[in-house]
Amino acid sequence: FPSDPMPPPNTKKYVRAMPSVELYSEEWYEVLPVTIGAVVVYCAFPLAYTIRGVLQAPRRVCEDDAFAESYDYILGDMNPRAWWWILISMANALLLALVQAVFQDVFLQLYTSMLLLCAVILLQIAARPNIHRAVNNLEIILLVTNLVFLIFATSFIGERELHNQDTTFYAVVMLVVVCLVLAFTLLSVGWWVRGALRRTAIGKAAQQVYRSRDLMALLAGMPEATFLRRAGQLIENDRLLLKRTTDMLVSTFFQEQPARRLHRQRVIPGRKFAVWTPREVL
């Protein structure tokens, strides 16, 4: 619970929401179970219900229409590849609230909130959870705006608070962050080495290419009406992904430029510049 110290020389601390209650007093401990119970009812139960829906969604949504209606707040307007994004959103909101409630130090509040926002921004960019591209871009802009706001908010911290900071704690936090980054880097390198030793690059490419070619052969034999009906179910992110995949296939296997627009062209060494047209393979 956040609390403000009384003016010196009084070192007692009182709960900000209830100034008459001294921190860690008998009265404070009497209120604590009620607060914990309220947090559990308000936060834990909805979170558990949501986790249940996320874990069951891939299987249940295909079989039970009532399930999709019950969990519409999870599945509605969400990218099918990122149906779990609601957990990230809820965790972010809960952690931001806990940071403000648990930490009394303004530096911890600001810097911890910045770290959380940075993590969410990276996840947002990677997952692109909404089916609408504009919504994804808007959410990223809003998150970055919040981060910039917190950065500039540090300029309002008084000099007294700056001189009273425990630099040892922040040094430990910095070391922990650096160690986590190094550990992630080493694990990534180790995972890459493991994959390289198990299978060559040509073997990996051949496996994926043959699988893709078999899939294309099946698509070529699909009835036109079925093909168009299912193509109409593509969300915006998947349409863009299909467009980029088509450009990659043209430039890689036909060794030609997929389009006349510069932003879609690729560097293809040793080949004469030519723009591919579908008539060339008919």
Domain boundaries, the chain: 1-76, 234-282
Instruction: List CB contacts of 154: < 8 A, sequence separation 6 or more.
Output: 110
Residuewise pLDDT in 10s, the chain (282 residues): 455 555 555 667 777 777 788 877 888 888 888 888 888 888 888 888 899 888 888 888 877 778 888 888 888 888 888 889 999 999 999 898 888 887 877 888 888 898 899 999 999 998 888 888 888 899 999 999 999 998 888 888 766 666 666 677 777 778 887 898 899 899 989 988 888 777 777 888 888 888 888 888 998 889 999 999 988 888 888 888 889 889 988 888 888 888 888 888 888 888 888 888 876 554
Closest by Cα among 213, 197, 199 to 249: 213
CA-based end-to-end distance of the chain: 71
Query: What pTM was estimated for this model as a whole?
Result: 0.69
Q: Which pLDDT value is given to residue 145?
A: 94
Q: How many CB atoms lie within 10 A of CB 259?
A: 15
